[in-house]
Amino acid sequence: MDETIWFAAPDLAAMTASGGAVMPGLLGIEFCDYGEDWLAARMTVGPDVHQPFGRLHGGASVVLGETVASVGAAWTLDPASHVAVGMEVNANHVRPVKDGFVTCTARRETAGRTSQVWTWRVTDEEDRPVCIGRITMAVIDNARK
């Protein structure tokens, strides 16, 4: 990689493990790939993430998108001095999924001293869009948290 946004090389296993027994772990989110300015994770679609009509719950898509972007933002910062937390999220749900898996790729669009903006795209197994979203991350100095 010529130029990268990462503070340290992403560790996909550590990213997945960080979800542990909290929401990302409960939904089975697994980080699977990254590039110079993007990060990807996947999630199995089944009854645990369905809405009552047997389709992927829109909230689960948003959790997936926000998780990938939030973890991505965190890995661009020096954890000894800063953290990133979600400030605003927007999502459009464009295709239902009943089973299989979905993959979310999040990309950092801009970064400043106090905020970052990330976009994400959740796709189905045929690479068709399922959910497209954006999140603004607040970058907080550890001395203030």
**Does the annotation count 66 as an active-site position?**
yes
Across the strands, what pairs with 111?
A: 116
SS3 93: strand
Are 111 and 92 within 8 A, CB to CB? no
Q: Please identify which of the residues 3, 30, 36, 66 carries the catalytic annotation.
A: 66
Q: Tokens representing 124?
A: 């189905």
Phi and psi based region of residue 57 (left: phi greater than 0; alpha: psi -120 to 50; beta: remaining): beta
- Alpha carbons within 13 A on the beta-carbon side of 31: 26
Catalytic residues: 66
